[in-house]
Amino acid sequence: MPKIVVKYMETQFSPTKICPICGAHNTLSNTICSECHSSFIKNTTYFCPSCHHENSPDSKFCSSCGDSLLHKAQVQDSDFSIISHAVKDEIRLERLIGEGGMGKVFLGTQLNLNRNIAIKILKMELVGSPEYINRFKNEALILAKLKSPYIIDIMNIKEVNGRPFYIMNYIDGSTLYNKIKELHSNNSKKDISSSAISIIIKLLNALRVAHRENVVHRDIKSQNILLDLENNPYLIDFGISKMRSNQSHTIDGISLGTPGYMSPEQIEGSDIDLRTDIYSTGILLFELLTGRLPFEFESIHELIRKQSSQPFPKIQDFMEGLNTTHFQTIIEKACNTNQELRYKSAEEMEAELKKISSEYSYIYSSNSKNEVPLKQDKSQLKELISTNFSMQFRLIYPGIFDMGALLKDKDSKRNEKPRVKIKIDSPFYVSIIPITQKVYSEITGKKPSKYLNPDSPVENVSYFDALKFLDLLNKNPNSMKENLPGIYRLPTEPEWEYLARGGTNWIYTFGDDKYQLDTYAYYLENSYSTTNPVAQKKPNSLGIYDLMGNVWEWCQDYYDNELLEKKDEDSSYLPKNGKYRVVRGGSFKDSAINLRLSARMGYLPEERTEHIGFRIIYELK
470 closest CA partner among 342, 615, 345: 615
User: CA-to-CA distance for 434 and 553, rounded, in angstroms?
Assistant: 8
* Mean pLDDT (whole number) for 94-117: 88
Query: Is pLDDT larger for residue 253 or for residue 290?
Result: 290
Beta-carbon-side half-sphere exposure of residue 275 (alpha carbons within 13 Å): 17
Q: Is the dihedral of CA 528, 532, 535, 539 positive or negative?
A: positive
The percentage of the chain sitting over the pLDDT mark of 70, rounded to a whole number, equals 77
* Mean pLDDT (whole number) for 143-160: 88
Reported as a pLDDT band with limits 50, 70 and 90, residue 444 is very high
523 closest CA partner among 436, 614, 459, 586: 586
∠ CA 454-457-461, nearest 5°, is: 110
User: CA-to-CA distance for 586 and 411, rounded, in angstroms?
Assistant: 14
The percentage of the chain sitting over the pLDDT mark of 90, rounded to a whole number, equals 40
Rg (CA), the chain: 29
- Distance of alpha carbon 130 from its chain centroid, rounded? 34
| 3-state secondary structure at position 415 | helix
The torsion of the CA quartet 599, 604, 609, 612, rounded to 10 degrees, works out to: 40
User: CA-to-CA distance for 243 and 245, rounded, in angstroms?
Assistant: 6
| Other residues' Cβ atoms within 10 Å of the Cβ of residue 245 | 7
386 closest CA partner among 471, 500, 484: 484
User: CA-to-CA distance for 559 and 615, rounded, in angstroms?
Assistant: 18
Paired with 381 in beta bridges are: none
* Mean pLDDT (whole number) for 235-239: 84
Render the burial of 494-512: b for 16+ CB within 10 Å, e for the rest: bbbbbbbbbbbbbbbbbbb
pLDDT of 146 > 60? The answer is yes
352 closest CA partner among 331, 338, 366: 331
Query: Is pLDDT larger for residue 207 or for residue 5?
Result: 207
Average pLDDT over the chain reads: 81
| 3-state secondary structure at position 470 | helix
235 closest CA partner among 155, 168, 183, 164: 168
* Mean pLDDT (whole number) for 356-376: 45
386 closest CA partner among 447, 433, 320: 433
Residue 316 is classified by DSSP as: G
Is the separation of the CB atoms in 277 and 217 below 8 Å? Answer: yes
Beta-carbon contacts of 159 under 8 Å, excluding residues fewer than 6 positions away, are: 165
Name the most confidently modeled range: 19-33, 51-65, 217-231, 366-380: 217-231
User: CA-to-CA distance for 548 and 456, rounded, in angstroms?
Assistant: 14
User: CA-to-CA distance for 114 and 414, rounded, in angstroms?
Assistant: 18
The beta strands (E) that lie in 362-427 are given as 384-386, 392-396, 399-403, 420-424
Q: Name the H helices within 106-237.
A: 130-145, 176-186, 189-212
User: CA-to-CA distance for 511 and 320, rounded, in angstroms?
Assistant: 30
Residue 198 is classified by DSSP as: H
What pLDDT was estimated at residue 368? 35
What pLDDT was estimated at residue 116? 92
How confident is the model over 304-333, as pLDDT tens digits?
888 888 889 998 888 765 667 889 999 999
- Report the 3 state secondary structure along 203-220: HHHHHHHHHHCCEECCCC
| Other residues' Cβ atoms within 10 Å of the Cβ of residue 473 | 23
The beta strands (E) that lie in 493-539 are given as none
User: CA-to-CA distance for 191 and 186, rounded, in angstroms?
Assistant: 9
How confident is the model over 179-229, as pLDDT tens digits?
888 888 765 555 677 788 889 999 998 999 999 989 999 899 999 999 988
How confident is the model over 465-515, as pLDDT tens digits?
999 999 999 998 888 877 788 999 999 999 999 999 988 888 999 888 888
What pLDDT was estimated at residue 226? 92
∠ CA 503-509-512, nearest 5°, is: 105
User: CA-to-CA distance for 339 and 394, rounded, in angstroms?
Assistant: 40
Residue 42 is classified by DSSP as: T
ω into 418 cis (within 30 of 0): yes
Classify residue 331 by burial, with Cβ atoms within 10 Å: 0-12, 13-18, 19+: buried
* Mean pLDDT (whole number) for 7-23: 43
| Other residues' Cβ atoms within 10 Å of the Cβ of residue 370 | 11
Phi-psi map region of 9: left, alpha, beta (phi>0 left; psi -120 to 50 alpha): beta
* Mean pLDDT (whole number) for 335-361: 85
Q: Is the dihedral of CA 593, 595, 600, 601 positive or negative?
A: positive
Out of 6-10, 67-71, 132-136, 481-485, least confident range:
6-10
Alpha carbon distances (Å) from 251 to 255, 275, 338: 6, 21, 24
pLDDT of 247 > 50? The answer is no
Residue 130 identity = P
Beta-carbon-side half-sphere exposure of residue 162 (alpha carbons within 13 Å): 11
pLDDT of 366 > 60? The answer is no
* Mean pLDDT (whole number) for 269-280: 92
Is the separation of the CB atoms in 463 and 605 below 8 Å? Answer: yes
How confident is the model over 369-412, as pLDDT tens digits?
334 444 445 456 888 898 888 889 999 999 888 899 988 888 99
| 3-state secondary structure at position 107 | strand
Its pTM stands at 0.57
User: CA-to-CA distance for 70 and 152, rounded, in angstroms?
Assistant: 27
pLDDT of 69 > 70? The answer is no
| 3-state secondary structure at position 169 | strand
Alpha carbon distances (Å) from 118 to 137, 157, 172, 270: 16, 12, 10, 35
Beta-carbon contacts of 375 under 8 Å, excluding residues fewer than 6 positions away, are: 425, 426, 427
Helix or strand holding residue 266 (H, E): helix 264-267
